[in-house]
Amino acid sequence: MQALYAQLLVGLINGSFYALLSLGLAVIFGMLNIINFAHGAVYMMGAFVAYFLLNLGGINYWWALLLAPIIVGIFGMILERTMLQWLTGLDHLYGLLLTFGIALIVQGVFQNYFGSSGLPYAIPDQLKGGMNLGFMFLPVYRGWVVVFSLVVCLATWFLIEKTQLGAYLRAATENPTLVRAFGINVPRMITLTYGLGVGLAALAGVLSAPINQVRPLMGADLIIVVFAVVVIGGMGSIMGSIITGFALGVIEGLTKYFYPEASNTVVFVLMVLVLLVKPTGLTGRAA
C-alpha cells in the first residue's frame, strides 16, 4: 500500500505539471490561435532561470518562484512582438512550425552549454523533511508542489472566468475587431496573454527543478504528453485543462503501480480511446 500511495503522489505531482502546462497552452491558444510548441522549452527555461538565480545571484527559491516566470514571461512577450505577431491571419500551422523552430533553437543553445545531464537544485530549507500522515510518509516539498500549483491554477481560472480583465480577454478571443472598437488595446492584450501562458510554464519549471533536476531536454518529451492531455481534455475550457491535467497524472501514477510496462504509454492509449468515443475531446468545442 505504501508503494501505491507513493505512486499516487508522483501522479499528482506530474498532474500538477500537466495542468499548469496545458492551462498555459489553453490560454495562449484561446488568444493567439497558436499551439505553442515552445512550451516545453520555456518550462525548461523556468528551471534554468531558477538555477542561475541561485548559483549566480544567490537568490533563493522563493524569489525564483516569482522572478523566473516574470523573466521568462518577458522573453515570451519579446518573442510574440518580434515573431509570432507576424503570423496573424495565416494558417495556424505556421504558428506551430515557428514555435517548433524556436523550441529547437532554445534547447540546442542550452544543450551546447550544459550538455544533456542534469544539474542539481536543492530543496529550500523550509520545505525539507517530511510528515507522517499515518498511512504514508509525505515529503513536504512534494505536498507543497501539489497544493501550490492547484492554487495557481484556480487563481488563473478565477482571473479569466470571473474578472473584468478576463471578460475582455474572452471577448477579444471571440471578436477582436469589436473589442478593439471599444478602445481596448487588443495587440497588447495578446502579448500579455502570451507572457502569462509562458510564465505559467516557467513556474512549472521552477517547481519541478528540485524534483527532476535541471536539464536542457526536460521539457522536450514532457510536452508531447501534455499535447496528449490537451487532446483528451479538448482545451475547451480553462477548468477542463486543469481537471484533465491532474486526473491524467493520477491515472499515470496508478498505471505505474499496477502495470509499470504501460506507464509511458497509458496517456496516449487513453487519448486514442477518448478520440474513438468522443472525437472532440472531453470538454472540447468543435475544432
Partner 1 sequence: MTTLTDDTLRVTPRAMRDELIAFTLMALLLASVPFTGVYPFFVMQALCFALLACAFNLLVGYGGLLSFGHAMFLGTAGYCSAHALKVWALPPELGILVGIAAAFVLSIITGFISIRRQGIYFSMITLALSQLLYFIYLQAPFTHGEDGIQGIPQGHMFGILDLSKPTVLYYVVLVGFLAGFLLIFRIINSPFGEVLKAIRENEPRAISLGYRTDQYKFLAFVLSGTLAGFAGALKVFVAQNASLTDVHWSMSGEVVLMTLVGGLGTVSGPVVGAFVIIAMQQYLAGFGQWVTVIQGSIFVVCVLTFRRGVIGEIAHYFRRSL
At its nearest, how many Å lie between partner 1 and the CB of residue 230? 7
Shortest distance (Å) from residue 173 CB to partner 1: 16
Which CB atom, from 206 or from 226, has the smaller least distance to partner 1?
Answer: 226
In the bound state with partner 1, the residue whose beta carbon lies nearer, of 69 and 219, is 219
Smallest distance from partner 1 to CB 229, Å: 9
Distance, in Å, from the CA atom of 272 to the CA atom of 186, rounded to the nearest integer, reads: 37
The rounded distance, in Å, linking the Cα atoms of 52 and 93 is 34
Residue 144 C-alpha cell reads as 507543497
Q: CA-to-CA distance for 247 and 229, rounded, in angstroms?
A: 10
Least separation in angstroms between residue 109's CB and partner 1 is 6
Closer to partner 1 at the Cβ: 175 or 264? 264
Ramachandran class of 281: left when φ > 0, alpha when ψ lies in -120 to 50, beta otherwise: left
Place of cell 505536498: 143
Write out the residues near partner 1 by the rule CB under 8 A. Answer: 35, 83, 86-87, 89-98, 100-109, 111-112, 224-225, 227-228, 230-231, 261, 264-265, 268-269, 271-272, 275-276, 279-280, 287
The distance of closest approach from Cβ of residue 100 to partner 1 in the complex, given in angstroms and rounded to an integer, is 6
Q: Which is nearer to partner 1, 28 or 172 (CB)?
A: 28
107 or 149, CB closer to partner 1?
A: 107
> For partner 1, which is the closer residue by CB, 69 or 240?
240
Sign, CA torsion 174/175/176/178: negative
Q: How far is the CB of 99 from partner 1 (least distance, A)?
A: 9
Helices (H), the chain: 2-32, 39-57, 61-82, 92-114, 140-162, 164-174, 176-181, 186-212, 220-233, 238-258, 266-277
Distance, in Å, from the CA atom of 79 to the CA atom of 75, rounded to the nearest integer, reads 6
CA atoms of 267 and 247, how far apart (whole Å): 11
